[in-house]
């Protein structure tokens, strides 16, 4: 009978990958690493996708791997392309059943993986479930946005858009589904909203919703959350794809009108070849109805974010 080492046992039992895309965040990664070391359940892989960092992130992770005896750590370096491309890169290389995206400047509560495991193995055989959604918190007691007021299984579209539950949340998804629904990668653009994939999955699958705070977040002044609109208007093709995908009848009408305005706005920011390549043909009525508001929004954003800089 073969006797497994502790590292072999960890590898055999892993059911989830904590996927961390990072770009010049070496000084922040230590807090996340310490929270992973404290996990009451160690049945996970920590996969770091370095999106072209120049701050010696690789050397830092190499040192962690040398001194660590409890965690399974994987590190990959790629040319800078934006967070969504780093996620695609990591998803391709993930072999566990679930993927838990945790940003490099955030961290997990000590029993986060244990909570995920307990909930998931009650539902893992459900073919209509694409993942679990928990709460993010500013700390262990204060959640970001709102709690879920209905914990029945339902789609991302129903919970987040039709019921309007606000605030960033902590989503965990089936790896097999993420491998089928990757983020579009557009040459010259480094951003597309993650809800592109979450909403696309919501057209066909439900999620499990739980009010546990398992993820503690920090919004940095130079992070994607703060970069906001200026980042998005520099990536108009991603904006067109994201907004255009959400104009279909699965989405509430008020939301579709909002996305129609954004679609037309990004359409004007894009050049003509990109409009032809990434423009959509469906949902013509919504696009026509929101054409003028989209053009006016384009003029306003152009003046505010581009002409002043």
Give per-residue pLDDT as tens, 282-308: 999 999 999 999 999 999 999 988 765
Please give the share of the chain, as a percent, with pLDDT higher than 90: 86
CA dist 180 and 1 (Å) reads: 39
Of 218, 240, 264, at which residue does a domain stop? 218
**Predicted local confidence at residue 222, as pLDDT:** 55
On whether both 85 and 28 belong to a single domain, the answer is: yes
**Predicted local confidence at residue 231, as pLDDT:** 87
In a domain, 290, yes or no: yes
On whether both 20 and 149 belong to a single domain, the answer is: yes
Which uninterrupted H or E stretch holds 214? strand 206-216
On whether both 250 and 188 belong to a single domain, the answer is: no
**Domain limits for position 273:** 225-307
pLDDT at 113 over 50: yes
From residue 76, alpha-carbon distances to 31, 66, 127, 306 in Å are: 20, 16, 31, 35
On whether both 12 and 147 belong to a single domain, the answer is: yes
Of 218, 247, 271, at which residue does a domain stop? 218
**Predicted local confidence at residue 69, as pLDDT:** 77
CATH number of the structural domain spanning residue 44: 3.90.550.10
Count of domains forming the chain: 2
| 86-90, 91-95, 228-232, 280-284: least confident range | 228-232
Of 183, 218, 253, at which residue does a domain stop? 218
On whether both 170 and 275 belong to a single domain, the answer is: no
Instruction: Say whether 166 sits in a helix, a strand or coil.
Output: coil
pLDDT at 94 over 70: yes
In a domain, 207, yes or no: yes
Which uninterrupted H or E stretch holds 100? strand 98-101
Residue matched to tokens 């995908």? 245
Instruction: Say whether 237 sits in a helix, a strand or coil.
Output: helix
CA dist 182 and 101 (Å) reads: 14
In the DSSP assignment, the letter for residue 208 is E
In a domain, 1, yes or no: no
């Amino acid at each position: 009978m073969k006797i497994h080492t502790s590292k072999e046992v960890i590898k055999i039992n892993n059911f989830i990958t904590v996927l961390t895309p990072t770009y010049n965040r070496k000084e922040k990664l230590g807090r996340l690493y310490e929270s992973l070391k404290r996990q009451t359940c160690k049945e996970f892989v920590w996969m770091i996708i370095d999106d072209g960092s120049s701050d010696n992130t690789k050397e830092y992770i190499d040192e962690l791997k040398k001194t660590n005896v409890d965690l399974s750590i994987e590190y990959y370096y790629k040319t800078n392309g934006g967070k969504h491309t780093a996620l695609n890169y990591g998803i391709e290389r993930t072999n566990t059943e679930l993927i838990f995206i945790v940003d490099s400047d955030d961290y997990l509560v000590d029993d986060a993986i244990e909570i995920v495991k307990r909930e998931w193995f009650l539902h893992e055989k459900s073919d209509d479930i694409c993942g679990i959604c928990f709460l993010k918190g500013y700390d262990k007691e204060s959640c970001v946005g709102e709690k879920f007021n209905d914990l029945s299984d339902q789609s991302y579209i129903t919970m987040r858009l039709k019921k309007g539950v606000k605030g960033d949340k902590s989503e965990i998804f089936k790896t097999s589904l993420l491998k089928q629904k990757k983020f579009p990668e557009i040459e010259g653009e480094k951003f597309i909203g993650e809800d592109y994939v979450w909403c696309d999955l919501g057209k066909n699958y439900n999620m499990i919703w739980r009010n546990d705070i398992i993820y503690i977040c920090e919004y940095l002044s130079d992070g994607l959350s703060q970069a906001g609109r200026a980042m998005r208007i520099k990536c108009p093709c991603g904006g067109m794809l994201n907004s255009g995908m959400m104009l279909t009848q699965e989405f509430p009408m008020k939301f579709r009108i909002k996305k129609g305005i954004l679609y037309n706005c990004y359409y004007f920011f894009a050049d003509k070849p990109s409009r032809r390549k990434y423009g959509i043909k469906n949902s013509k009525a919504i696009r026509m109805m929101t054409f003028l508001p989209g053009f006016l929004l384009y003029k306003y954003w152009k003046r505010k974010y581009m002409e002043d800089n």
